[in-house]
């Protein structure tokens, strides 16, 4: 799919791509970047709350540093959320001065909340894809993702059930954490809609839920670091399928990926550098 799209895009006039790119005003890009920062802060808030329930003493700023390290690892390892999980567990244990199993339980519980919300929304996306041949790789990605995540989560919870049982006692907190996960994931099609609306003002946000989550489903197949290639190819193809010009679909995908992936990576590196500089200054 990616190869076919590259061949198709190579035949397009560069001027057409530049024309599509000029349709996106700088203000819209800044808004998307601001929304992405909000998304990252909400994700960090969720991690911080789960750590508190698990009696792990990690501040919001320290958890942000840990998450940024995890984001960098996610970007350089195949698939999504694989290398970052180990990094986060190790750093939570080190910075929070807690046993490894306690830190791993925090990671497992966050994944349970986040991925349960994601897969619920992904089912909606699959419903949208029901009439498309692209449903086959999306279903395969969903099944593989579910099996790997459920098995990993089950292994975590069986080994560290005491920490998990402590958090599950507070039903209201669990419900709020799940709703927070839903909000975080729903911000992704919202960002895609804000970007797509620059090319088609009458775009329907519901029609963009499918491309958004199907792209992340395909990106879960552990082939390329950060899901690169599969994500871009799937989203471009699906945006083209819902009526966008191929050049517009390509520009939307590239900008969306920059905001949600490359910008996050750059921001993470900045946070890591600032955190280490402040820590070094405090040690002097």
Residue bearing the bigger pLDDT, 153 or 254: 254
Interhelix angle 14-22/246-257, nearest 10 degrees: 60
Residue bearing the bigger pLDDT, 149 or 36: 36
What pLDDT sits at residue 112? 82
pTM of the entire structure?
A: 0.80
Residue bearing the bigger pLDDT, 219 or 136: 219
What pLDDT sits at residue 38? 95
The 3-state DSSP class for residue 223 equals: coil
Average pLDDT over residues 253-267: 92
Average pLDDT over residues 187-207: 89
| Residue range 200-223, pLDDT digits in tens | 888 888 888 888 888 887 777 655
d(CA 86, CA 238): 33
Average pLDDT over residues 183-193: 94
Contacts for 118-124: CB closer than 8 Å, 24+ residues apart: 118/181, 118/185, 118/213, 118/216, 119/145, 119/146, 120/182, 121/182, 121/185, 121/186, 121/209, 121/213, 122/213, 122/214, 122/216, 122/217, 124/209, 124/210, 124/213
HSE value, Cβ hemisphere, 13 Å, CA-based, for 243: 10
Nearest alpha carbon to residue 149 among 109, 89, 100: 109
Average pLDDT over residues 251-255: 90
Query: Positive or negative CA dihedral for 221, 182, 261, 5?
Result: positive
d(CA 13, CA 29): 24
pLDDT > 60? residue 1:
no
d(CA 266, CA 168): 35
Residue bearing the bigger pLDDT, 217 or 128: 217
pLDDT > 70? residue 6:
no
Average pLDDT over residues 183-190: 93
Least confident of 34-38, 171-175, 218-222: 218-222
Q: Per-residue confidence at 82, pLDDT binned at 50, 70, 90?
A: low
| Largest CA-CA distance found in the chain, in angstroms, rounded | 63
| Residue range 141-170, pLDDT digits in tens | 555 555 555 555 555 555 456 556 666 677
């Amino acid at each position: 799919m990616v190869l076919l799209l590259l061949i198709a895009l190579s035949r397009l006039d560069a001027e057409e791509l530049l024309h599509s790119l000029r349709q996106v005003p700088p203000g819209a890009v800044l808004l998307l970047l601001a929304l992405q920062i909000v998304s990252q802060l909400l994700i960090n808030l969720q991690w911080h709350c789960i750590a508190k329930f698990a009696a792990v003493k990690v501040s919001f700023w320290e958890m942000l540093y840990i998450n940024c390290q995890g984001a960098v690892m996610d970007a350089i390892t195949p698939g999504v959320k694989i290398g970052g999980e180990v990094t986060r567990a190790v750093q939570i244990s080190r910075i929070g001065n807690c046993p490894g199993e306690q830190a791993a339980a925090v990671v497992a519980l966050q994944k349970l909340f986040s991925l349960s919300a994601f897969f619920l929304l992904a089912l909606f996306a699959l419903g949208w894809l029901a009439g498309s041949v692209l449903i086959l790789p999306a279903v395969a990605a969903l099944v593989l993702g579910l099996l790997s995540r459920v098995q990993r989560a089950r292994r975590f919870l069986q080994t560290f059930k005491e920490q998990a049982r402590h958090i599950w006692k507070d039903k209201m907190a669990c419900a709020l954490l799940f709703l927070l996960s839903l909000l975080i994931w729903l911000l992704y099609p919202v960002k895609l809609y804000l970007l797509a609306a620059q090319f088609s003002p009458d775009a329907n946000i519901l029609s963009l839920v499918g491309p958004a989550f199907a792209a992340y489903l395909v990106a879960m197949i552990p082939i390329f670091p950060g899901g690169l290639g599969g994500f871009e190819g799937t989203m471009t193809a699906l945006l083209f399928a819902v009526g966008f010009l191929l050049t517009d679909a390509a520009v939307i995908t590239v900008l969306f990926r920059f905001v949600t992936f490359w910008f996050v990576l750059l921001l993470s590196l900045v946070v890591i550098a600032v955190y280490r500089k402040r820590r070094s200054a405090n040690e002097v």
